Structures are given as structure tokens and as C-alpha cells.
Amino acid sequence: MPALPSDERLPLYQRLRDALARHISENRWKAGEAIPTEAVLAADYDLSIGTVRKAIDMLVSERILERQQGRGTFIRRAQFQDSLFRFFRFQTAEGERRIPQSQVLAVDVLPAPAEAAKALQLPDGEPVIHLSRLRLIDGQPVLAEDIWLPKGPFEAILGKDLNQEGPLLYPLYEEFCGQVIASADETLTAEPADERSAGLLGIAAHSPVVLIERLARGYAGQPLEWRRSRGHAQHFRYSVEIR
């Protein structure tokens, strides 16, 4: 019978949740697999079923686990279909939400610029990975992106040819680096296009662009990616639901 680690003053369901979350993040069970049944967990940890259910409820509401009545409780696969649009709010002028193609222009390692260091909560000048990337719809550029990642956790993507992969980075972060994006803060502003962005987007310099700054975080709230996307204001459309 494994003992629950972690602070004894916390409720048992919280401690069980933490223990299960750690097992999952250490890949004790793989995505798509079932975890042990509620009855087995209750017996193993010497808890009542109700307490086990409460711990699992938490992980389900965090979208880490998924229940299927009669079958079991499963590690949630970072589902392409599901997560696809969760972080994608930029639409075509017609309101369509097609995933734009991705073209990675450059990958380099450099000392973190001040703004990136601040966003990622790194010491100034700490090495970061910088991606320059273009998003296209029907071959037309719609977004020019600069992406900064802390080098340590994301080192594994340096060896990959990102243009051989799908158009979304977050599944790659998970597959290659074991880093899961759980939430993000975005701020939108408008500015005149600088020459580099104008060139990439194929628009006149100084014409208005929308700038989307995104800080993406992991399950523990730690900053994992800082991103700046610029798109032509004319073709800009962004949707959000406020609850």
C-alpha cells in the first residue's frame, strides 16, 4: 500500500490528486491508457471510494483525466480535435477557423531579450530558443510570429525539422519535450507594421497590424512560451467567450 507523500495537513483527496498528477507527469501511465479503477485505488491507498472519486473529479475538471462509464478512467490524450481551437482565436475574414499552415523560417538560440526574459520569468540574458514562423492560409501569409522558449525544458526541439511536422506547436512541445500547455494570457494591441513584418506579411510598411502577445503556461502556472503574432488589421478576426 503506497503512502501518500506531500503535506499531511492537506485533505486526503488533494494529496491523492497530487500523487496521481505526479504519476501522470512522470509517464507512469501513458496518454490514452486507463488508470487503476476507483476500487483498486481506494484499496491501494486505504481510502474510501468517495475520497478517491473526489481526487479524480479534480483531475477530470483539469482535463487531465477522462471518465468513461463502464470502461474506466483514462489519461486524456492531448486530443488534436479538441485542443485544436482552444488556443486558436484568430479567424479568417469570413469567420472561418481553418488551421493555417506553418512555415518555420528560423530557429536559433540566443540570450533572452529583456521583454522575453521578463515574460518567461528568466534572468536577463538566460539562453532561450527563438522561432521565427509564418502562418499561411491558401499560401497567403496571415500571421508573422516570434516565439521564445526557455532553453532547458525545450532543448529537444532543436534537433527536429519543424517543417516536417504538423502546423501546431503545442502537440510537438508535448511529444518532444513533455511540456503541456494548460492556459494562456493574450493581450491584443494595434500598431503600424515595421518593415520586417510588412515584408513577411506582404503588406505596405506602416499599414496597421494587430499584435497578439501570448504567454502560455503549464499546469503549475509556470510560463513556458512567450509569443508575439502580427497580422494585417484588415483580415483580422478574433473571438472569445467570457464566463
Partner DNA sequence: GAGTGGTCTAGACCACTCA
57-96: contacts with its own copies (CB under 8 A): 63, 86-87, 89, 95
Torsion of CA 100, 235, 108, 194, to 10 degrees: 170
* DSSP element (H, E) containing 185: strand 183-192
| Binder of its own copies out of 188, 203, 225, 228 (CB under 8 A) | 188
SS3 216: strand
- The nearer residue to DNA, 9 or 94, going by C-beta atoms, is 9
Minimum separation from the CB atom of position 59 to its own copies (A): 14
How far from 182 is each of 123, 192, 206, CA to CA, in Å?
23, 32, 35
Minimum separation from the CB atom of position 3 to DNA (A): 13
How far from 190 is each of 104, 187, 195, CA to CA, in Å?
24, 10, 15
- The nearer residue to its own copies, 37 or 234, going by C-beta atoms, is 234
Of 18-26, 34-42, 104-112, 183-191: span binding its own copies (CB under 8 A):
183-191
Of 111-119, 163-171, 179-187, 220-228: span binding its own copies (CB under 8 A):
179-187
In order, the DSSP letters of 80-137 are HHHHTTTT--B--TTS--PPPEEEEEEEEEEEPPHHHHHHHT--TT-EEEEEEEEEEE
Residue 184 binding partner per list DNA, its own copies, none, with a CB distance cut-off of 5 to 8 Å that depends on partner kind: its own copies
User: What's the one-letter identity of residue 221?
Assistant: G
Minimum separation from the CB atom of position 215 to its own copies (A): 10
CA atoms within 13 A on the CB side of 236: 17
Minimum separation from the CB atom of position 125 to its own copies (A): 25
Minimum separation from the CB atom of position 85 to its own copies (A): 11
Is residue 37 within the footprint of its own copies (CB under 8 A)? no
- The nearer residue to its own copies, 27 or 48, going by C-beta atoms, is 48
Angle in degrees, CA 142, 189, 157, rounded to 5: 55
Is residue 48 within the footprint of its own copies (CB under 8 A)? no
Residue 111 binding partner per list its own copies, DNA, none, with a CB distance cut-off of 5 to 8 Å that depends on partner kind: none
d(CA 126, CA 81): 35
